[in-house]
Each structure stands twice: as C-alpha cells, then as structure tokens.
Structure 1
Amino acid sequence: MKKIDLACIIDDDPIFVFGAKKIMQFADFCNSFMVYHNGEEAINGLKSIILAKEKLPDIILLDLNMPIMDGWQFLDEFTQIPTEHEITIYIVTSSIDPEDINRAKSYNRVTNYLVKPISIEGLRKILEES
C-alpha cells in the first residue's frame, strides 16, 4: 500500500475532523492534510491552489451535510474545474439514505461512499484502492 502525500478533509464537524486526523496519523495514511469547514471554503481554497500551480491533494474526504455550501454543491462546482492532477474523492457522511448513495454514483470523480465514523480499516481500504 502506498501512502497518500496530501489528503483534504472537507467537513464542518470539528469532532469528526479531529478524529479523522488522529486516525490518519495512527494509520500512517498520509504525509500531511488540509482541512476546509464547508464546500465554499474548499472551492475557494482549491481554486487558489490550482491557479498558483501549487500542490493539490491526492484525495478528498467530503462530507455532504455542511452549512454555506454542502457536499453536493461542492461536487457540482468542483467537477467543472479543469485540473491536471487527478484527485480521488470519497464521500464520508453520516447519511445512509439510498438516494444519497445513488446520487454519489452519478459523479465520475467520486470513488466511493463511506458512512461515518471512519476507521483505520476504512483508510487502509482507501489506500488499497488508490
């Protein structure tokens, strides 16, 4: 399994973000990570990185239910931005709604749909898939 260089967490829940970062460190999942607290903050930050030709994340862990701009709105906007760097997107949410699961499948850039909480085993599976 290869290690991810840069992971991005887009989630408004500080407890989930804290836990996910700790689990990523414990699992030796990635070298570093960036965090955005809603989709709008993530779009603005990632657009700036793309324009500056700086290092983009290899993987995004995306929550669906967030204020200001939710995960679906983020996906709709982010998938329209051309990038040379392939970014793997995983939806990580508490939603077990079949409509959300099916909707996620309609996005080519979404690799998988994971239900919270995230685990070391879940992170290892992500590493195997990437």
Structure 2
Amino acid sequence: MVNKILLVDDDDATNYLSREILADLDAAVEIVVAQDGDAACDLIQSNNCPDIIFLDVRMPRMSGFDFLNKLDKMQVCKKMKVVLLTSSSRIEDREKAMGYGNVLGYLEKPLTWQSARKVIEAYFH
C-alpha cells in the first residue's frame, strides 16, 4: 500500500472507475482526483506529493505531456512516479511518455484490477 495516489483525468467516469478499483485493492491510504493538469500542479505545489500519479494524455487546457514538462520544471516531489492511463494507443505517445524519467508505464483505459495491482506490486512492495 502506498500513502497517496493522484488520478489526473478530465473524465468523471474514468476517475470513478479507477478510484473504485484502487480502493478495492486497498492500494493507497488516500486517493485524490484532479480534473486537469492545472489542478494537479496546484496540489503538488502545496507540497501534497502523491507516491504515484495515473495521468491521462489527452485533456483540455493542459495535456498529460504538458503536465509532465511542467512537473519537471517545478522541481518538487522527486520520488513521485507516473503511469500514463490513456485512450491513446499511438506508438508515438507511448515512446514519448517513456522518455520521462519518472514515468513507470503506459496503460490503455480503462484501468483494470489486474493492471493496477501489477503497478502497485511491481513498484511499491
């Protein structure tokens, strides 16, 4: 179990499903949702560092990649890891995502019990 997971996605249904799966797995003490990258940055800047972020690639205002770039510039929460959780199956997006040092993986939506468990066990146990 990790202390905190942050879900960053503009889709309420995806956030609900992901939150339910992670709660069912007892994956974290706290699961927080941010509707976009700006809200996630605000949370992180207040030194509210999650252990892991499940991040959508395609969001309005700030894409997942824009968020990752801003996160690099913020220089906070150095141990935080990111898993992209997206409907994008583009090879270019996957390759770009894996170029970031804090990105652990690239999963296609929806988050499943098996994929969430695999991430938590592989990196946090």
TM-score, normalised with respect to structure 2: 0.93
Structure 1 portions without partners, runs of 5+? none
Q: Which runs of 4+ in 1 moved over 4 A?
A: none
Q: Conserved in 2, the CA contact under 8 Å of 1:79 and 1:109?
A: no
CA offsets 1:1-29 (integer angstroms, 9 cap, x no match): xx111100000000000111111111111
Structure 1 residue 118: Cα displacement: 0.6
- Distance of 1:77 and 1:84 partners within structure 2: 12
Structure 1 residue 70: Cα displacement: 1.1
> Closer, same or farther in 2 for the Cα pair 1:84/1:32, shift >3 Å?
closer
Report the aligned-residue RMSD.
1.2
Could you tell me which of 12, 15, 18 is aligned with 1:14? 12
- Distance of 1:84 and 1:100 partners within structure 2: 24
The alignment covers a number of residue pairs equal to 123
- Which structure has the bigger radius of gyration? 1
* One-letter identity of the residue aligned with 1:63: D
Structure 1 residue 44: Cα displacement: 2.0
2:41 is aligned to 43
Could you tell me which of 7, 14, 27 is aligned with 1:29? 27
Q: Conserved in 1, the CA contact under 8 Å of 2:44 and 2:76?
A: no
- Distance of 1:18 and 1:115 partners within structure 2: 16
- Distance of 1:43 and 1:118 partners within structure 2: 22
Residues 1:58 and 2:51 aligned together: yes
Structure 2 portions without partners, runs of 5+? none
